């Protein structure tokens, strides 16, 4: 990590969005199908100061790489703004865009596919110099030799092809190519994930040395928290297209605020034998689809600390069961035909005869809920399930929503400002109604 820091942001990302569209072909339009957005990046904002390394971390598919590519304008944004050294990247064209390409480079994740197998190593590293017409042929050749030696390779290897090198050596070639134009800023997209553990440390130490030597600014994209902790100054945690927490690396690792960050850190193996028997809280459920993200807080479907309505006095486990029940009713994800013993209830017209409703409700309730509810909640649930017995799905969902809808479902929490903000209602106005909830340890 570089120790010389400037307060002026070199890169400022403001409400960046990148959607990919499905059902958007000419045939779909003729058939009247509405385009469906895949919200890969959905309102991301952060800053990177000169000489700093910002880590961008999260599970696979959360939008990290798309953020880096859109920031560099390798993909065009759906909305938002990226400023580089005070200029809006998306307003640049012609020579100004060419100048930006020189100042901002990328090291790709896969060293096996990011190099052209038909080009020698020397041609690969020299290509940016040729494109931007920098120096004479002899000067370019000498620059390539210097770069190869600087990243730990031999200048005598410049006439070899990528298949003659190991994964770690190929990644060093990619780093040399990124340095060819003497950029200010480099996006490192999972630069060590395809490498053996023994090689990862060598590449990370190389990047650290190069940052100090060339006064570089990094955006390091990774899912490996140990890499993030070793290399970065600050960390931004990403979940389902959004930044949920950002802060100084040591502070975030020592005192994570967002439940998602806490769960990520819980998943990191510990070297200490004192912690081998510790209880680990794992995340429940799957990551929702970016085609249809949850309302409100996107992490709420997996969060162990969802805030219940103010007037409810109910434990978290029971509340989550009731939320799950309501969501299944809303999706109509309950088979009524299989309730009870075979042919016990007549559902030919989609409803249960009035005389069978109490027995049907009891059988359905026992199948859907494993928890003994307080009397008041038993009454609410039975009333809603009775509406299902009569075929009134919307009414049943409305009754459950009125009683059990959370602020986490209604409002998307803001990330906020400050040195270590977290986009979570546990730190907003709703936090007072959630007193006594302990964070994951």
Q: What distance in Å separates the CA atoms of residue 18 and residue 68, rounded to the nearest whole number?
A: 11
Give the count of domains, the chain: 2
In-domain check, residue 411: no
Q: Is 39 helix (H, G, I), strand (E, B) or coil?
A: strand
pLDDT tens per residue across span 365-416? 988 998 888 888 999 999 999 999 898 999 999 999 999 988 888 899 998 8
Q: Work out whether the CA dihedral 241, 245, 250, 255 comes out positive or negative.
A: negative
Q: Does 238 share its domain with 343?
A: no
pTM: 0.84
β-strand 53-57 against 104-107: which pairing, if any?
unpaired
| Residues of the chain predicted below pLDDT 50 | 1-4, 275, 433-434, 436-441
The pLDDT, as a whole number, for residue 64 is: 95
The pLDDT, as a whole number, for residue 221 is: 96
In-domain check, residue 282: no
In-domain check, residue 310: no
What CATH number is given to the structural domain containing 71?
Answer: 3.40.50.300
Q: Does 18 share its domain with 132?
A: yes
Q: Does 327 share its domain with 260?
A: no
Q: Does 124 share its domain with 218?
A: yes
Check: CB of residue 157 under 8 Å from CB of residue 145: no
In-domain check, residue 322: yes
Which residue among 266, 283, 304 closes a domain? 266
In-domain check, residue 308: no
Helix (H) or strand (E) holding 390: none
β-strand 53-57 against 217-222: which pairing, if any?
parallel
Q: Does 262 share its domain with 320?
A: no
- Residue 30 makes CB contacts below 8 A (sequence gap 6+) with none
Q: Does 34 share its domain with 182?
A: yes
Cα distance between the two ends of the chain: 28
Q: What distance in Å separates the CA atoms of residue 175 and residue 96, rounded to the nearest whole number?
A: 24
Q: What distance in Å separates the CA atoms of residue 375 and residue 341, rounded to the nearest whole number?
A: 27
Q: Token match 């919200």: residue?
A: 39
pLDDT tens per residue across span 228-284? 998 999 999 999 999 999 999 999 999 999 999 999 998 776 555 554 555 555 676
Q: Does 82 share its domain with 228?
A: yes
Q: Does 186 share its domain with 51?
A: yes
Q: What distance in Å separates the CA atoms of residue 360 and residue 391, rounded to the nearest whole number?
A: 13
Q: What distance in Å separates the CA atoms of residue 12 and residue 149, rounded to the nearest whole number?
A: 33
Q: Does 196 share its domain with 254?
A: yes
The pLDDT, as a whole number, for residue 316 is: 83
In-domain check, residue 306: no
Check: CB of residue 219 under 8 Å from CB of residue 56: yes
Q: How far is the CA of 139 from the CAs of 142, 157, 183, 213, 392, in angstroms?
A: 5, 18, 18, 21, 78
Q: What distance in Å separates the CA atoms of residue 432 and residue 434, rounded to the nearest whole number?
A: 5
Q: Does 145 share its domain with 47?
A: yes
The pLDDT, as a whole number, for residue 199 is: 84
Q: What distance in Å separates the CA atoms of residue 164 and residue 121, rounded to the nearest whole number?
A: 10
Q: Does 36 share its domain with 154?
A: yes
The pLDDT, as a whole number, for residue 370 is: 84
Domain of residue 137, residue span: 9-266
Q: Does 54 share its domain with 144?
A: yes
Q: How far is the CA of 350 from the CAs of 345, 365, 389, in angstroms?
A: 11, 18, 8
The pLDDT, as a whole number, for residue 272 is: 52
């Amino acid at each position: 990590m570089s120790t010389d820091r400037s307060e002026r942001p070199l890169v400022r990302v403001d409400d960046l969005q990148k959607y990919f569209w499905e059902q958007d072909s000419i045939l779909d339009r003729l058939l009247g199908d509405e385009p469906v957005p895949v919200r890969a990046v959905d309102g991301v904002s952060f800053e990177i100061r000169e000489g700093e390394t910002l880590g961008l971390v999260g599970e696979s598919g959360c939008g990290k790489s798309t953020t880096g590519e859109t920031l560099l304008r390798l993909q065009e944004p759906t909305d938002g703004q990226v400023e580089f050294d005070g200029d809006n990247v998306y307003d640049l064209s012609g020579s100004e865009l060419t100048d930006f390409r020189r100042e901002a480079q990328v090291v790709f994740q896969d060293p096996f596919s990011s190099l052209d197998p038909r080009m020698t190593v020397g041609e690969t590293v020299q290509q940016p110099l040729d494109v931007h017409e920098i120096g004479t042929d002899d000067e370019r050749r000498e620059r390539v030799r210097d770069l190869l030696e600087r990243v730990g390779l031999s200048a005598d290897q410049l006439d070899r092809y990528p298949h003659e090198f190991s994964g770690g050596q190929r990644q060093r070639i990619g780093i040399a190519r990124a340095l060819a134009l003497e950029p200010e800023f480099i996006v490192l997209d999972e630069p060590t994930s395809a490498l053996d553990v023994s090689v990862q440390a060598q590449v990370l130490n190389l990047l650290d040395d190069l940052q100090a030597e060339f006064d570089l600014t990094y955006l390091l994209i990774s899912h490996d928290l140990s890499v993030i902790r070793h290399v970065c100054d600050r960390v931004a945690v990403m979940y389902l297209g959004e930044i949920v927490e950002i802060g100084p690396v040591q502070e975030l690792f020592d005192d994570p605020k967002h439940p998602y960050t806490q769960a990520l850190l819980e998943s990191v193996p510990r070297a200490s034998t004192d912690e081998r028997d510790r209880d680990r809280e794992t995340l429940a459920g799957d990551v929702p689809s970016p085609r249809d993200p949850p309302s409100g807080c996107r992490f709420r479907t997996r969060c162990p600390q969802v805030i219940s309505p103010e007037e409810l006095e109910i434990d978290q486990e029971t509340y989550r069961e009731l939320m799950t029940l309501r969501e299944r009713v809303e999706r109509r994800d309950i088979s009524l035909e299989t309730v009870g013993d075979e042919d016990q209830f007549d559902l030919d017209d989609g409803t249960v005869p009035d005389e069978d409703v109490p027995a049907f409700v009891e059988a359905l309730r026992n199948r859907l809920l494993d928890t003994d509810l307080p009397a008041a909640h038993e009454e609410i649930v039975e009333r809603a399930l009775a509406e299902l017995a009569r075929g009134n799905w919307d009414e049943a969902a409305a009754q459950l929503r009125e009683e059990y809808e959370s602020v986490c479902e209604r409002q998307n929490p803001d990330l906020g400002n400050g040195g270590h903000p977290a986009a979570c209602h546990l730190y907003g106005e709703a936090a007072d109604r959630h007193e006594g909830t302990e964070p994951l340890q």
